[in-house]
Copies of this chain bind each other. A is one copy, B any other.
Amino acid sequence: MSIEVMPNFLKKRAFLTPSRTALVYEDKRYTFQQLYVESVDVAGRMHAYGMKQGQYIALLLSNHSESVVILLSLQLLGIKAVLLNTRLTTEELNYQLKDSDAAFLITESLFEEKAKQLNVSVVLKNELFQISYMEPPLVHEVALEEVCTLMYTSGTTGSPKGVMQTYGNHWWSAVGSSLNLGLQESDGWLCAVPLFHISGYSILMRSVIYGMKMVLHESFDVEKTLQDIKSEKVTTMSVVSTMLSRLLDHLDSQLPSHFRCMLLGGGPASLSLLERCVELQVPVYQTYGMTETASQFVTLSPEYSLSKLGSAGKALFPSQLQIVDSDGLEQQPLKSGDIYVKGPNVTKGYLNKEGSHLKDGWFATGDIGFVDEEGFLYVQDRRSDLIISGGENIYPAEIEGVLQGHPAIQEVGVIGVEDLEWGQVPVAFVVRDSPITEAEIIQYASSKLAKYKVPKKVIIVDHLPRNASNKLLRRSLKEWIKGGDTNEN
């Protein structure tokens, strides 16, 4: 068979619709043509600096229009981008730089001090932009199986693994999404999640593949978001639960009618949050995906957003999904098991890891869920977060969902803590909206949950630990317990 090749995505897009708006960042606006010209220019400077096709080059950059240009320049040169999380410690960064054998690190003045402690040749983006342009050897055609990006999964245990995402992974992910959400010339996607995460990078790829405007924010800001949804006619936005919750809190009127959907990812959402969205007429599409699947591969189709509230939906057109029991057999509907996925959006594998990441072509997500009789997926939890108490399985997200339904509670994180009698017991960390005692919370939980699921302890805190994409870090809660660092008040 022949290897599928395609024109460089940005070059092709700029050729097809040069004058459409590609990117809006603060007071800067780029058409696709301008973005292409700028990216070729930066590619020429990278070339002059000695950056070469086939290399891995690491990036430590915050969301900025210049970061977009740098990412697209690397694609034009056939260089693989190692996307570093800006919140990592130098030790963690050095691990990833070493593992990927990154030839250079491109960063910005904000991270200059941190970069000095890294074992890599560092160049600041401002310095890079001042190097004289040399005509670069552009990669006009790209094989879909080529690696485009490398992102390390944090993982809850063990050392981080570099997920190789190919051009094909990104392409199929974007196409699968468009077959579900539709595609209109007037679409615009707001990106307030990090570009170094697949949630943000996938918006950039959709923008280029669809010919769609991306409205980029440096970070999530409620007021700016609500303002840009109106003034930039944003139709879609990627959010995680906390972002959505804060948006709902600040919503003083209905979202404009051009707004099509909140794409809600980053872990299971609580039913109470989804019900609030229905009430406030905020169109929300639950999704499920991960770095290894180049973003969402399960999304709830428009017609089911109400009747299947709480479900992440069905696997997108090019993807397949399977729930597998502990014997490796396909699980019956309504029974929980390991979530497996197959499709052209699934990573080529982990860098420097031996053995296949696939089992008969299927990838084990490590997450747990079930499908209902119609095949809708309900993601229950991350496998590593599963609490087993007296032989019963407890899914933290279920408890969190219930507690978040209480009007005095803002957010909740639940973990399992070792217990001599039961093996593990659930413990809840609660951020309050208004005064409520531990006893009242436990009483509320008892009225809603089977006894074994009721938290044995409730700890009042003033914030929850989250990563850059706002995912709850349950392992940090475990550290808090161990270290007594629970700022109880």
Contacts and interface: CB of A to CB of B under 8 A. Distances in A.
A393 interface: no
Interface size class of A (residues with CB under 8 A): 35 or more
Per assembly, the copies of the chain total 2
Interface stretch (A10-18, A270-278, A445-453): A10-18
A51 to B, nearest CB: 26
Contact of A15 (B314, B342, B343): B314
Interface in A135-152: 141, 145
Interface in A266-311: 301-303
A156 interface: no
Given A12-B317, A344-B4, A17 B184 contact: no
Contacts of A153: none
A210 interface: yes
Contacts of A303: 17, 19-20
Contact of A182 (B1, B6, B141, B185): B185
A439 interface: no
A4 B320 CA distance: 12
B15 A375 contact: yes
A165 to B, nearest CB: 15
Given A1-B3, A182-B183, A184-B184, A209 B317 contact: yes
A426 interface: no
Interface in A343-362: 343-344, 361
Centre residue among A13, A184, A317 by max chain B CB count within 10 A: A317
Contact of A178 (B141, B178, B301): B178
A318 interface: yes
A344 B344 CA distance: 15
Contacts of A20: 303
A47 to B, nearest CB: 24
Interface of A: 1-7, 12-13, 15-17, 19-20, 141, 145, 175, 178-180, 182-185, 209-211, 301-303, 314, 317-318, 320, 342-344, 361, 375
Task: Enumerate the 6 nearest inter-chain pairs by beta-carbon distance, A residue then B residue, closest first.
Answer: A183-B183, A1-B145, A182-B183, A182-B184, A4-B344, A175-B175
